[in-house]
């Protein structure tokens, strides 16, 4: 496999670590713990991965190494990070994991970015016994997948739970007289969007909503104006897009241009991105999107500050925190076991509760039941408004046109 120029192999450490004297010298003398990471740096999903995935890997590695490394039974070990660009191509991702396992011989690998990639790559992670904490995957096939792959963990909830979160909010708004029952629904035609749309059709219909427009589009579609024009022509009361980052931006830009005036407007992945808020400003006040956070807790405030300080970038309002949480879980599991034994670490994740920036996280049959489902832009802040077993959900704010 030709290695992309963006591949980097290094031990990440802060300059301040040099001041740790004997502790640092001891850590350097020992072998490092090798961490592999494969995600898009190019291709359609690169924009999302460079916001959500890569900065949090950097943040975690630098924080751990600044503390002198992971505390194991035989002393502290620094982290060595080995990165590959999968070019938004599942085949390239699988080849990169193969390389990490057989040539680089990494101890652990960060889970892929995106639902389709987590599902497609699960067999190769399982083949080499790597725990795969999937923080950017939503599917109703969790029971089937976790039964097949004992090292696969899910943190974001099922497809049905996400659709129900949106359905419940639309139902509450309809009951309050804020919207009618006509919904325009669109989806990106990959595993993520297709599964969400398939689940949404009967759920929305059973809740009394009429799907007046239902359209899919290929990942990477450059011109989404026909999709938005078609939705507007159907005169919906609500617009729902099961979208990935490029189309979340593109659909919203076209919705503003075409003045798609609906009482409830929802786009999925990347609605929570700081760049989304920066691009559209106050126009998106009241816009709904996937996931969310409670930005007012002390732990989240500290996380946002450290993310900005170390990476130079603002964390997003949903999956950034989940990605960091997965690395906190991995760190605590490795230290809990006291060695880089993948089988023992996997079992430790199954059996224990972890202290994270999102509170205590544990897994039941390899699935966490604590997650945000819907967020909303409110006065320049993206806040969680619907969740499973999470505290601090904000009240829904009515969207009033594209200001």
| Rounded average pLDDT over 184-194 | 95
Long-range CB contacts for residues 274-283, cutoff 8 Å, separation at least 24: 274/51, 274/313, 274/314, 274/315, 274/316, 274/317, 275/51, 276/248, 276/249, 276/252, 277/377, 277/380, 277/382, 279/249, 280/252, 280/253, 280/256, 282/380, 282/403, 283/256, 283/402, 283/403
Q: Of 25-34, 173-182, 224-233, where does mean pLDDT reach its minimum?
A: 25-34
**For residue 403, what pLDDT is reported?**
76
pLDDT of 396 over the 90 cut: yes
Question: Do you know the residue count of the chain?
Answer: 403
237: buried, middle or exposed (CB in 10 Å: 19+, 13-18, 0-12)?
buried
**For residue 338, what pLDDT is reported?**
98
State which H helix or E strand residue 97 sits in.
helix 90-99
pLDDT of 7 over the 90 cut: no
- Take residue 189 and report the two structure tokens written for it: 């035609």
pLDDT of 128 over the 90 cut: yes
List, for residues 140-165, the tens digit of each pLDDT value.
999 999 999 999 999 999 999 999 99
pLDDT of 10 over the 60 cut: no
**For residue 15, what pLDDT is reported?**
35
3-state secondary structure at position 120: helix
Q: Do domains 9-157+296-371 and 159-292+373-388 have the same CATH topology?
A: yes
Residue among 99, 110, 86 nearest 36 (CA): 110
Q: For the residues of 299-347, what is the DSSP string, one character each?
A: HHHHHHHHHHHHHSS---SSHHHHHHHHHHHHHHHHHHHTS--HHHHHH
**For residue 175, what pLDDT is reported?**
96
pLDDT of 12 over the 70 cut: no
Work out the pLDDT band at 191, boundaries 50, 70, 90.
confident
pLDDT of 367 over the 80 cut: yes
Domain residue ranges in the chain: 9-157+296-371, 159-292+373-388
| CATH code of the region 159-292+373-388 | 3.40.50.2300
Number of other residues whose CB lies within 10 A of the CB of residue 162 = 27
Question: Cα separation of 198 and 141, whole Å?
Answer: 13
Strands 288-290 and 264-267 turn out to be: parallel
| Rounded average pLDDT over 319-330 | 97
List, for residues 219-273, the tens digit of each pLDDT value.
889 999 999 999 999 999 999 999 999 999 999 999 999 999 999 999 999 999 9
133, 366 Cβ separation under 8 angstroms:
no
**For residue 21, what pLDDT is reported?**
40
Question: Cα separation of 284 and 289, whole Å?
Answer: 11
**Location of structure tokens 């690169």:** 46
| CATH code of the region 9-157+296-371 | 3.40.50.2300
């Amino acid at each position: 496999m030709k290695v992309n120029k963006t591949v980097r192999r290094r031990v990440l450490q802060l300059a301040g670590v040099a001041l740790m004297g004997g502790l640092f010298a001891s850590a350097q003398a020992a072998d490092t713990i090798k961490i592999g990471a494969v995600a898009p740096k190019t291709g359609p999903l690169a924009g999302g991965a460079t916001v959500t995935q890569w900065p949090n890997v950097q943040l975690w590695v630098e924080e751990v190494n600044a503390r002198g490394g992971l505390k194991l039974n035989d002393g502290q070990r620094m982290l060595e990070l080995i990165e590959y660009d999968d070019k938004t191509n599942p085949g390239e991702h699988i080849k990169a994991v193969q390389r990490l396992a057989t040539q680089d011989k990494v101890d652990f690998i960060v889970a892929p970015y995106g639902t389709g990639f987590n599902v497609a790559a699960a067999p190769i992670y399982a083949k080499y016994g790597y725990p795969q904490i999937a923080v950017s995957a939503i599917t109703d096939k969790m029971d089937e997948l976790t039964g097949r792959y004992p090292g696969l963990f899910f943190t974001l909830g099922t497809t049905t739970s996400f659709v129900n979160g949106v359905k419940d909010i639309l139902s509450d708004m309809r009951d309050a007289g804020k919207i009618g029952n006509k919904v325009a629904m669109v989806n990106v035609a990959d595993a993520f969007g297709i599964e969400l749309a398939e689940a949404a059709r009967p759920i929305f219909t059973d809740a009394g909503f009429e799907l007046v427009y239902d359209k899919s589009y290929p990942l990477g579609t450059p011109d989404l104006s026909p999709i938005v024009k078609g939705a507007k022509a159907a005169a919906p009361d609500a617009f729902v897009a099961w979208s990935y980052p490029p189309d979340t931006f593109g659909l919203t830009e076209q919705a503003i241009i075409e003045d798609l005036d609906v009482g409830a407007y929802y786009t999925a992945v990347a609605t929570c991105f700081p760049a989304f808020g920066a691009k559209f400003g106050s126009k998106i006040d009241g816009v709904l999107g996937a996931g969310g956070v409670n930005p007012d807790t002390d732990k989240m405030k500290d996380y946002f500050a450290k993310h900005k300080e170390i990476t130079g970038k603002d964390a997003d309002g949903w999956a950034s925190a989940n990605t960091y949480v997965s690395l906190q879980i991995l760190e605590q599991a490795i230290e809990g076991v006291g060695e880089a034994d993948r089988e023992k670490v996997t079992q430790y994740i199954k059996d224990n509760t972890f202290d994270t920036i999102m509170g205590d996280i544990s897994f039941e049959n390899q699935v966490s039941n604590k997650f945000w489902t819907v967020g909303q832009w409110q006065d320049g802040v993206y806040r969680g408004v619907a969740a499973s077993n999470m505290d601090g959900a904000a009240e829904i704010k009515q969207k009033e046109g594209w200001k």
